[in-house]
Amino acid sequence: MSSQMIVEIADIEDPRLDIYRSLKATNSTRDLNLFVVEGSLLVERLLQSRYETEFLLTHPDWIKNPRFPIPNHVKVYCTSRQMMTELVGFSFHQGIMACGRRADWPTLGELLKDPSRDLNTIVICPAIDNPENLGSIARTAEALGVGAIIVGTASPDPLSRRLTRVSMGATLKLPVLKYENTHDALDELKAAGFEFVATLADHGCKELFSFHRPEKVGLLLGREREGLAPEFAERADHRVTISMVPGADSLNVSVAAGIFLYHFSQSKHVL
């Protein structure tokens, strides 16, 4: 890393630091074309992703012993550990943060036509609104070969600091496509040969481990509290459940997603 790219900042009111200010108290990046990630792992994954890295923020000790190489063209702002903590508004031990620039994903239609992508499994979350759950779903989905996630307007920002952290950077690599009307995405997928699997807690549904996935599957996941809305359950080609012990209510949506996706990843090999 060339030394001229390191810029020392001693004034906490420096406007170049505004993107990092009071991160815990606000989600100030949601409506900006910039976003923030924190910690060595996520900063490294941002640098390796499709997103442009605007600049990093760290302290002198981290610069002395960097955990990964920083490209010469990336500017690094350097300040004290104490000032980093004061700036973000909470005890910050990660040592490094980065600011990335948002970029649109290709459309669903374009992704489906891309021969380099395996889009035979797509997760559809019409009304999920909990960032931890969406982050966990994204992390599992990326690990188990899901091609994309479709979300509705209630969805949290997939590039928020909190969600990116929970997903361990999965939302930097996995397309998360937001639709004003999720049925439009279902129409596109149906036309492309997808079959929809509704995840339900009803006793009349087929048990997951006796269910063999179709070649192209869209997994419909419900809202954290109310479950899958009837309008989406009615569009399902298959209604599938996870058997639980008597008296159990339901599983957390991210846990259920993990079980379904693991089963799909295994049954895919025996089609």
Six-digit token string for 5? 């790219």
Q: Are residues 94 and 190 in the same domain?
A: no
The answer, yes or no, to whether residue 82 has pLDDT greater than 60, is yes
Check if the beta carbon of residue 164 is closer than 8 Å to that of residue 171.
yes
Give me the domain span that covers residue 240.
108-270
Per-residue pLDDT, 226: 82
Q: How confident is the model at residue 270 (pLDDT cuts 50, 70, 90)?
A: very low
Q: Are residues 115 and 97 in the same domain?
A: no
SS3 220: strand
Q: 219: how many CB neighbours lie within 10 A of its CB?
A: 26
28 vs 222, higher pLDDT: 222
Per-residue pLDDT, 155: 93
Domain boundary among 101, 132, 166: 101
Q: Are residues 132 and 91 in the same domain?
A: no
The pLDDT tens digits of the residues spanning 206-248 come to 999 999 999 999 999 998 778 899 999 999 999 999 988 776 6
Q: How confident is the model at residue 251 (pLDDT cuts 50, 70, 90)?
A: confident
Tell me the mean pLDDT in the region 189-211. 93
Listing DSSP states for 222-270 in one string gives -BTTTBS-HHHHTT-SEEEE----TT-----HHHHHHHHHHHHHHHGGG
The pLDDT tens digits of the residues spanning 148-186 come to 999 999 899 999 999 999 999 999 999 999 999 999 999
Q: Look up the CATH number of the domain holding residue 84.
A: 3.30.1330.30
Question: What is the count of structural domains for the chain?
Answer: 2
The answer, yes or no, to whether residue 39 has pLDDT greater than 60, is yes
Q: Are residues 235 and 144 in the same domain?
A: yes
Percent of the chain with pLDDT over 90: 75
For the whole model, what pTM was predicted? 0.91
Q: Are residues 145 and 264 in the same domain?
A: yes
Q: Are residues 78 and 178 in the same domain?
A: no
Q: Are residues 48 and 126 in the same domain?
A: no
Domain boundary among 51, 86, 101: 101
Q: Look up the CATH number of the domain holding residue 140.
A: 3.40.1280.10
Check if the beta carbon of residue 7 is closer than 8 Å to that of residue 78.
yes
Mean pLDDT (the chain, rounded): 91
